[in-house]
Every structure is written in structure tokens, then in C-alpha cells.
Structure 1
Amino acid sequence: MARDSSAAETIENNVRSGSRPSDLRITDLRVAEIVGAPFTSALIKIYTNQGIVGLGEVRDGASATYALMLKSRLLGENPCDIDRLFRRIKQFGGHGRQGGGVSAVEIALWDLAGKAYGVPIYQMLGGRFRDKVRVYCDTDAEKPSGTETGKRLKARMDLGFTFLKMDLGLAQISHIPGAVVAPAGVLDGFRTHASRGRARTLDERRARNAAYDAQNVPHPFTGLHFTEKGIDLLDQYIHEVREVIGYEIPLAIDHVGHISLQDGIRLARRIEKYAPAWLEDVIPWQYTEQYRQLQQATSVPICTGEDIYLKEGFEPLLNAGISVIHPDLLTSGGILETKKIGDAAQDHGVAMAIHMAESPIAAMAAAHVAVATENFMALEYHSVEVDWWDDIVTGLPKPLVKDGFITVPDRPGLGIDDVVDEVISQHLQPGITGIWQPTDHWDDEYSWDRTWS
């Protein structure tokens, strides 16, 4: 009997405390705000009473406050109750960057649940549809000619990428006389970028707000139109790109600019001969009927979705008949919601690509969804020139993106061990002086959150 008792104690002593999921409780939430991977984002950690930590990430360009405000609604809860907690906090998310806090928390909860149960997230989503996740390499078109951009894209192909994306639109031709019809002063707003740092003077605040307002005008109301000369120049630009990279590789098109539906149709029809993989975000996603008209007017697959929050936000577009949806997990609501979005799209015969312009934390969250979703096409990667991107975390293969693919490791949760503090401390957002600082002032933030009587 004593021998049996001793054996039981030995087994108990060798079991990780994280393997008692029913006793797991959230004790803290902290953030680290970084820049350059490739843009600004906020990494989050959710701490527990058993020493395991869940990692998440707020959407690029969003505020860490979107996540911090949720802390008081999570403390003391079991993070394995992912769906229940998501339903509690999802009212505090919204479209665009406003979905960043809820999505970051949801991803961290999945990471915690996977670590507690000792299984990868994709397994909890139903298992694999594929062994590797195809990555498409996004490349801005800042070069003055399609030939030069083509050379940059060809360099990506030489690294093993089998799917590419480039910009084509207003940015390439707005400086050329006679290429764009524009009301006086409108183009100035698109040539000035709002500062992401702290505005320290009244004049700085006014300049930032003016740039924000100029770029916040929906496309149909800007009065911007491509001239025939402008369309010719864009045609020539993509022609030069294809001359360099050939036609064997998919090439998606993004950043057309704040132009009208009619100009989008003109451009789409002109570039059909270059077989684009898709044409992305031609107009704001809310104009569902205009997307229907756009897709019906061209054979180019039409794509949108990176700014849409929750599955119900995608349903009108799926019914409108677009060809590709493009959620970003850090806006859409996180891991499970994006899996639901992909499955709903499949029911409509629509493919799913995934937008991702953040750190390896967001990349792994997206990769788990991609592995577990049948109609997945390709995952965005925007950090090929960020030489410290792989060093942000430990526990993953290096490089994470190899020969144009991510192989999701068979490891618990996201598969990441931890964040490397020394690396992220070298890349803090302007005005930020530390990482993982105490957030006790958010512990007791409270309101009566019910949205019905």
C-alpha cells in the first residue's frame, strides 16, 4: 500500500501544474508596445495562478488600451472558458483597429488553454487540413517603375515565396501631371502621414488630426479619378512587373487608393490580362452593393475583409458574391471567430486568405487557423526585411517562414515559449519607456456592461 502511495506521489510530482485546467485562473494582464515588425503593435501577456502565460497581440496601428480595458472583466476567470469569456467581452470590440483588444485577449486565451491541456491550438479547432501554411509575401511598390518593383518581387521568389502581392494605384501615379483628377488640396492629405508618436504641441496635434481626417474620407466622396493616362501608366507598371517575374506565380494587387467604384471597374478590366490573384480593398468594405457591382463587372477576383469584426460582419459580402475574403485575426475576433468566418465563406464558395502584418505571435495565431480551415489560400507576411522578426519569440523554428511556408510545430498552444524582452526593448514605440509594466490601475475599472434592459 505504501508502495502504491509513493507511486501516486511520484506521478503527481511530475505532472505540470498547468495540467490542472479546472483550477486555472487569470491573475494579471500586461503589455509591451513595439514598432518596426513591420509596423506598430502591442504584445500582451495574460498571467495565471499556475505560472503559465498566454501570449496575444493587438492589431498593428491600434492602441494597447483596447486590451487593457478588458482586464477587470477577466481577472479571476478560467481562461479555458474561451467562448464564454469571448462573449462577455466581444461588445467592446469593433471594426478596424477597434477589434484589436478583444482579438488579442481571445488569442491569449487559446494559447493558455493549449498550454494547460498540452495540445496545439489547431488540434482543438478540429485538426489539420494541411501540413504547411503557404505565405504570400507583401511588397510595397515604392519604386518608380514596375521593372524595379518586379526585381524586388523576383528577389522574394528567389527566397522561395510562391505567392506575391504588390501595391498598384494612386500612390504610383499621383505625382504625375495629368494622371489623376483631384479637387484642389485633396491629394495633399494622402501625401501626409499622421504621426504615430505622441503629439507634444497643439500644432502637432492639429497636423495629425488634419492628416487623419483627410484619409478618413470614404472613397466615393473624395472626388479622385484616374485619367486615361493614369490607367495607361498603371497598366504599364504591372506589365513591367510581369515581364520580370513571369506568369507562373500568383500576384495579388492592393492599395488602389481612395477612388470611386467606377474607377475600380476601369482598373480591374484593364489588368485582367495580367491574371491577378485578387484585387483588394478597392472601396470600403461596408459598401456591399458596390462590391457586388465590382465583382460582376470583372473577371479579376475581388477581395476585402481585413477591417471586418465578427462573422456577422462578413455575411453581407459573402452574399454579394465576392471571390476572396481577407480577415485579420487581430480585428476579426481572434482564432475561433476566424475559423467560423472561413467555414461560412466555404459554404458560399469563397476562398479565404489571411491578412497579417504583425509579430510572430499574430503569425502563429493565423497559422493555426490556416492549418485547420479547408478553404484557406495564403497568409500574408510583411516582414521579409525585418532582420530581428524571428528573434522576438523563442520556441519556434528559425526562420519561421522558410521557402515560402510556415510549418506549425506540434507544440502546446501557439507553440511559442516566450517573448524575448531584450529584443522588444530595443524596438519600443515612441514615448514608451518599459515593457510588461504593472497595470493595477485597470484592475477595478467597471461599468454595467449589459446592452439590453
Structure 2
Amino acid sequence: MKIVSMDTFLVPPRWLFLRIRTDEGVTGWGEPVVEGRAETVRAAVAELSDYLIGEDPLRIEDHWQVLTKGGFYRGGPVLSSAVAGIDQALWDIAGKVAGLPAHQLLGGPVRERVRMYAWIGGDRPAEVAELAAAQIEAGFTAVKMNGSGELTPIDTPARTREVVARVAAVREAIGDEHDLVVDFHGRMSTAMARRLLPLLEPYLPLFVEEAVLPEHSPNLAALAASTSIPLATGERLYSRWDFRDVLPTGIAVAQPDVSHAGGISEVRRIAAMAEAYDVAMAPHCPLGPISLAASLQLAFAIPNFLIQEQSVGIHYNQGNDVLDHLLDPAPLTFAGGHAQRTTRPGLGIELDERAVERAAELGHRWRGPIWRHPDGSFAEW
């Protein structure tokens, strides 16, 4: 079996899909993208295709080694995301050739269903309590909210109390039988995190995500020692080497993204490293159906899995949602806030190729927002 073509599709609202075809008629799909840099990753995939066309798609590990190391310059979000989508597509092909879901090829399932959480609110959270209650009513057992909008390095008592009040309102709305995740998107300085995290402790978040930016990861040990709240990070880390220095800091949850951190192959290795540090896995996944399907294949196979992000109905997806390009949405349809294990081969989903091609005719140039503080200086989004 040989790879004969690799085609990419810019799919609204902000996705990039990859289709790999073989000379035996088996097709694999992946989702290689950096949000806001889709065209850049698309170019990287095209460059990597020079090596892959004509190769055996089942040599997944050898291809991973060559693609990540063979160009001399290594790492970073663009290359790692390009490799991630290719890796997903190769696992999709391998599963289809074997007639097995990818998780079966990873050692078999360790669970029969995967706990999911639902996003509430937008980038600047407001009326989150009602939205949280609606998601619990829909069957989810956990919700995630952005903790704040932009924050100055040491913000006012008023802004601090606003964050606490929103978290308190969500906790009251969902009760203690359900979980709450608070994402700060790296918007806090270390000093602000030290001030704010202890104030959130009475509301018992499942975890706080990206309390500080990844470039301040050396400060995580001090933060973890200063609060009882489990800390999570990892959506902007791209390899096991990036996680090597973070796992010993005392974080509780690792959040690699299967479309950014080298694909199924690398995230599986990151999970094994995390297990040695008693760190749970809650993979990042605010993207499209292929990324979610690949994340679920991992979730069924890794023992230290905690909970899975998904973006069905998220505010970025207006006009095009996660299930819109599937021939059958059942594998990505949740019951009681869980995804049931699928036995369908590969990544477990079937893309509607014509729908993908039509969407790609529209394309997109999605860019992340640029925020500024009242004084005009750049603010973290």
C-alpha cells in the first residue's frame, strides 16, 4: 500500500482538514491546524508531503520520526500541528486496514465511555450561571468557563471580586454534584494568580486551566504549593520534551492537543509520562470533528484520562458546527455527558467528502482577536 495523494481543505469556521488517499482505496482523515495560522500549517503539510507520497502509510512511527526530525529544525506549533494531522490520518488508515478502531491498536479500551465537558460563555464571560444550568439540564456533568476577560498584571480588587462572583454563581447554579473548570487562558500574571486562586478555593473547581502563560511554567511549582486547586496546563506545549519540565512542578492535569502536540502517537507518549507523575489527562480540543474523534480514540486507551473537552455549539462555530460534515453524527453524539465507545474502524467517523469540499470553496481567514488594556497596551487573549 502506498500514499498517492494528500489534500487539505480550509473548512469554516477555523479548521483545516487533511485527506490522505492510498493506491488501495483506503482514505484517512486528519486535522492539522493552528487556530489563526491555518494557511501556514497547510504549507507545512504540503512540504511534508514531498516525503510521504509513495510511502507505506502503515509505517506510522517511522514517519513520525522522519517528519519531526528529518528537517533538522524541530518543534514549534506549526510543524508539530502539521505532523499531528498527518499522524491522525495515518492512524485512521491503519484502523480501516485492520478493521479496528484506533484505540484497539493502541492496546485496547480501558473504559467504555468518556466523560465530556461543555463550554459556557464566551471570551468575556457574563451571564454564565444560566448557561451552566442549561448544560447540566442537557446532561453534562461538568462545564468550563473563561474566568475573566483581560486582566492587568495586578488588577483591582473590583476585577478580582468580579471573577470570584462569576465562579460562585456557576457553582451555585450547578450544585456540588457537578464539576466546574475555570480557564484563564494565560491572562493572569503569576502575582495575580497568587492573589486570585486562594479566593476560588471555596468553590472547588475540578481544575484551573492556564493560570499563567506557558513561558512562565517555571512558576507553576510555587503556584501549586500555594493553592489546593488542581492546576492544568499544556494546550500550548507541543511534545513530550515540552512536558518534561512541566510535569514535575505539581500540576494535576496535562492538556496536550492531539492536533497540536504531534498527533495520536505523541499524545499517547505524553500520557504515559504524565502517569509517572500522577498527573491526569484532559486533552485540549476546541476544534472540529476529526480532532475530537482522534481525542476520543486516545481517551478510550489511556488509563490516566480525566475528562475531554469538546466544542459542539461553542461560540466560534456559528454557521458551521462540529457535526455538520459527518455522514453519521452518532460517534460524536453524547448521552448523559459521555461519549460511548465506538467499534467503527480508524478514528470512528465518516466524513461527507462533498460537504467538506463545498465548505472549502468558502474557506476562511480566521484570526484570534487582539485585545488591549485601557492604556492601549497589548492584553492577553
Normalised TM-score (structure 2): 0.87
Distance in 2, matches of 1:121 and 1:430, equals: 30
Are 1:66 and 1:100, in contact at CA under 8 Å, matched by a contact in 2?
A: no
- Uncovered stretches (5+) of structure 2, i.e. residues with no partner: 367-381
Deviations along 1:110-164, one digit per CA (max 9) or x if unpaired, are 111111121110011000110111111122346764xx21111111111111111
Distance in 2, matches of 1:384 and 1:268, equals: 29
Any residues of structure 2 matched to 1:120-135 within 5 Å, and which? 120-135=101-116
Indicate whether 1:76 and 2:18 are aligned: no
Q: How far off is 1:420 after superposition?
A: 3.9
Any residues of structure 2 matched to 1:236-255 within 5 Å, and which? 236-255=165-184
Distance in 1, matches of 2:303 and 2:331, equals: 26
Distance 1:260 1:161, change over 3 A: same
Are 1:33 and 1:429, in contact at CA under 8 Å, matched by a contact in 2?
A: yes
Moved more, 135-144 or 333-342: 135-144
The number of aligned residues is: 354
Distance in 1, matches of 2:271 and 2:250, equals: 15
Distance in 2, matches of 1:112 and 1:142, equals: 37
Any residues of structure 2 matched to 1:27-38 within 5 Å, and which? 27-36=4-13
Deviations along 1:160-192, one digit per CA (max 9) or x if unpaired, are 1111110112x1xx5xxxxx6x5xxxxxxxxxx
Are 1:95 and 1:331, in contact at CA under 8 Å, matched by a contact in 2?
A: no
For 1:156, the equivalent position in structure 2 comes to 135
SS in 2 for 1:329: coil
Indicate whether 1:65 and 2:43 are aligned: yes
Distance 1:30 1:256, change over 3 A: closer
Any residues of structure 2 matched to 1:325-340 within 5 Å, and which? 325-340=254-269
Distance in 2, matches of 1:420 and 1:139, equals: 31
Indicate whether 1:48 and 2:22 are aligned: yes
For 1:206, the equivalent position in structure 2 comes to none
Are 1:121 and 1:368, in contact at CA under 8 Å, matched by a contact in 2?
A: yes
Aligned equivalent of 1:112, options 87, 93, 104? 93
SS in 2 for 1:123: helix
- Uncovered stretches (5+) of structure 1, i.e. residues with no partner: 1-23, 175-179, 183-223, 433-453
SS in 1 for 2:232: strand
Distance in 2, matches of 1:397 and 1:299, equals: 38
Any residues of structure 2 matched to 1:317-328 within 5 Å, and which? 317-328=246-257
For 2:278, the equivalent position in structure 1 comes to 349
Distance in 2, matches of 1:141 and 1:102, equals: 30
Taking only the aligned residue pairs, the percentage that are identical comes to 29
Distance 1:425 1:403, change over 3 A: farther
SS in 2 for 1:296: helix
Are 1:26 and 1:76, in contact at CA under 8 Å, matched by a contact in 2?
A: yes
| Structure label with greater radius of gyration | 1
Are 2:331 and 2:349, in contact at CA under 8 Å, matched by a contact in 1?
A: no
Normalised TM-score (structure 1): 0.74
SS in 2 for 1:375: coil
Any residues of structure 2 matched to 1:1-400 within 5 Å, and which? 24-36=1-13, 40-61=14-35, 62-63=37-38, 64-91=42-69, 94-141=75-122, 145=126, 148-169=127-148, 171=149, 224-255=153-184, 257-384=186-313, 388-397=321-330, 400=333
Distance in 2, matches of 1:431 and 1:302, equals: 33
SS in 2 for 1:161: coil
Deviations along 1:29-78, one digit per CA (max 9) or x if unpaired, are 00111122xxx110000111001111000135132223222110101110
Are 2:186 and 2:214, in contact at CA under 8 Å, matched by a contact in 1?
A: no
Are 2:115 and 2:339, in contact at CA under 8 Å, matched by a contact in 1?
A: yes
Are 1:359 and 1:392, in contact at CA under 8 Å, matched by a contact in 2?
A: no
Are 1:279 and 1:300, in contact at CA under 8 Å, matched by a contact in 2?
A: yes
Indicate whether 1:418 and 2:347 are aligned: no
Distance 1:237 1:309, change over 3 A: same
Q: How far off is 1:419 after superposition?
A: 3.0
Distance in 1, matches of 2:108 and 2:134, equals: 34
Distance 1:65 1:232, change over 3 A: same
Q: How far off is 1:90 after superposition?
A: 1.2
Distance 1:25 1:131, change over 3 A: same
Distance 1:52 1:136, change over 3 A: same
Are 1:68 and 1:101, in contact at CA under 8 Å, matched by a contact in 2?
A: no
SS in 2 for 1:70: helix
